[in-house]
């Protein structure tokens, strides 16, 4: 069986110097367990370019999501886009990129720079065929992709970066290709690559970009799975069977709560060792258990993790943090698909009227985390035992 694939996306923009709105638009959609990316560079700059480009990407994305053929997409764009009063044409460029869950990829480009395709770390040329639709010549390519492959698509603002200034002829496609080969590796995110490309262009423009500049990145990689178990099942006789099934799932294993750790330790015939150095005044320490990637305390860690997930923008904010809540949040954000086993057995100590109410809110916090992760586009499967 082949490894399940995941397509990660990233995008970054910088506007032409003096403009507030970017005249490029990039849109990401979903299709057949895969991804769709559409880039358009609107005619001119500022508001008008922004509207043209946004119309183009929105229309193309919606039509492609419904599976319409390229001809229909191009015709619809020609018929719908407003005509430029100065130039008397209804025009904007586009790049349509579709990668399906089975690895089939399709690319159509009109008047945008050729998309960079990286395989095993090197840019390789795509075999394009020209297709004429109406008065337009569109380049098309089909290719089969797998984990480790990247698509990087840019507007001409990237290609021209530095023109007439730091670089006589601008950054140039070939030079960007070489640059990409030095930047792209397995552990870098699609978003980071997009940001690096745009930042580099902005530097070449000496912070005064001569054109709207955009980079859109698709990173094809193995799908990441995480499995999270918190709380023992209501029926203690189910402990072993549920824990066994949890252990057999593919991907990383994370457990929270003392009793849960105890159940897993028994099955694995290992001891839980607490690492006191990870303790903070709010968050109890994490533990080690051979065969499990992360062991944390239950309710306090999960509550803090929920607060982190409500506020965090980028997973990199968690780098170097060792407390249980940050590491739990990292596991959730790093994964694409998360299975959560929530056990609802009641710990008698938590019913003590002297205990703060939040002790009883574990299930509610887990539900809130499920929602936060779904909002971030994660696949989440919650099982309650």
Partner 1 sequence: MTVITVCVGSACHLKGSHQIIEYFKKAIEESRLEKEVELKGTFCMEKCTDGANLLIGEELFHANSPEDAREIFEREILRKRK
Give the list of residues 6+ apart from residue 136 with CB closer than 8 angstroms, or none: 74, 110
Q: At what angle do helices 299-311 and 324-334 cross, to 10 degrees?
A: 60
Nearer to partner 1, 98 or 362 (CB): 362
Residue 313 CB coordination number (10 Å): 6
**Site for partner 1 contains 290 (CB under 8 A):** no
- Does residue 263 belong to the site contacting partner 1 (CB under 8 A)? no
Q: Is 258 in the site for partner 1 (CB under 8 A)?
A: yes
Stretch that binds partner 1, among 27-35, 107-115, 135-143, 276-284 (CB under 8 A): 276-284
- DSSP state for residue 100 in the 8-state scheme: -
33's tokens: 């367990």
Taking CB under 8 A as the criterion, the residue among 190, 261, 328, 373 binding partner 1 is 261
Q: Does 279 interact with partner 1 (rule: CB under 8 A)? A: yes
In 3-state terms the chain splits into helix, strand, coil percentages (rounded to 5) of 35, 30, 35
Cα 318 from Cα 40, distance rounded (Å): 34
Residue 300 binds partner 1, judged by CB under 8 A: yes
87: buried, middle or exposed (CB in 10 Å: 19+, 13-18, 0-12)?
exposed
Residue 348 lies near partner 1 (rule: CB under 8 A): yes
Taking CB under 8 A as the rule, does residue 356 contact partner 1?
A: yes
Q: Compute the distance between CA of residue 17 and CA of residue 65 in angstroms, rounded to an integer.
A: 34
d(CA 102, CA 88): 42
Kindly tell me which residue out of 31, 84, 90, 272 binds partner 1, with binding defined by CB under 8 A.
272
Tell me the site size for partner 1, rule CB under 8 A: 28
Stretch that binds partner 1, among 73-81, 155-163, 176-184, 290-298 (CB under 8 A): 290-298
Q: Give the Cα separation of 93 and 110 in Å (integer).
A: 6
The yes or no reply on residue 294 touching partner 1 (CB under 8 A) is: no
Q: Binding residue for partner 1 (CB under 8 A) from 359, 368, 382, 384?
A: 359
Region near partner 1 per CB under 8 A, out of 59-67, 147-155, 275-283, 306-314: 275-283
Which residues of the chain form contacts with partner 1 (CB under 8 A)?
257-259, 261-262, 272, 274-276, 279-281, 284-285, 287, 295, 297-300, 347-350, 352, 355-356, 359
């Amino acid at each position: 069986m082949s490894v399940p694939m995941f397509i990660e996306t990233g995008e970054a923009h910088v506007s032409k110097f003096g403009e507030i709105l970017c005249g490029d638009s990039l849109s990401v959609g979903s299709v057949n367990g895969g991804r769709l990316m559409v880039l358009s560079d609107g005619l001119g700059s500022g508001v008008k370019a922004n509207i043209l480009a946004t119309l183009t990407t929105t229309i193309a994305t919606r039509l492609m999501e419904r599976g319409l053929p390229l001809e229909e997409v191009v015709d619809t764009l020609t018929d719908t886009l407003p005509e430029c009063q100065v130039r008397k044409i209804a025009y904007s460029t586009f790049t349509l990129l579709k990668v399906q869950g089975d690895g089939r990829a399709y690319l159509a480009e009109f008047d945008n720079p050729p998309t960079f395709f990286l395989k095993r770390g090197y840019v390789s040329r795509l075999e394009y065929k020209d297709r004429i639709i109406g008065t337009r010549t569109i380049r098309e390519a089909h290719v089969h992709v797998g984990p480790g492959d990247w698509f990087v698509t840019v507007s001409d603002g990237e290609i021209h970066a530095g023109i007439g200034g730091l670089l006589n002829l601008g950054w140039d496609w070939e030079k960007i290709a070489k640059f990409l080969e030095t930047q792209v590796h397995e552990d870098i995110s699609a978003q980071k690559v997009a940001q690096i490309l745009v930042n580099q262009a902005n530097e070449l423009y000496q912070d005064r970009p001569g054109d709207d500049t955009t980079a859109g990145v698709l990173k094809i990689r193995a799908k990441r799975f995480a499995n999270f178990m918190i709380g023992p099942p209501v029926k203690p006789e189910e402990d072993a069977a549920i824990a066994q099934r949890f252990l057999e799932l593919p991907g990383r294993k994370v457990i929270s709560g003392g009793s849960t750790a105890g159940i897993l330790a028994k099955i694995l015939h290992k001891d839980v060792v607490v690492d006191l150095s990870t303790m903070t005044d709010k968050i109890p320490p994490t533990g080690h258990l051979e065969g499990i990637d992360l062991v944390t305390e239950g309710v306090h860690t999960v509550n803090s993790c929920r607060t982190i997930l409500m506020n965090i923008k980028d997973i990199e904010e968690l780098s170097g943090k060792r407390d249980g809540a940050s590491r739990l949040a990292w596991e959730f954000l790093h994964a694409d698909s998360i299975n959560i086993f929530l056990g609802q057995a009641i710990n008698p100590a938590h019913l003590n009227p002297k205990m703060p109410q939040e002790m009883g809110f574990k299930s509610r916090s887990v539900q809130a985390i499920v929602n936060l992760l779904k909002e971030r586009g994660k696949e989440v499967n919650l099982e309650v035992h």
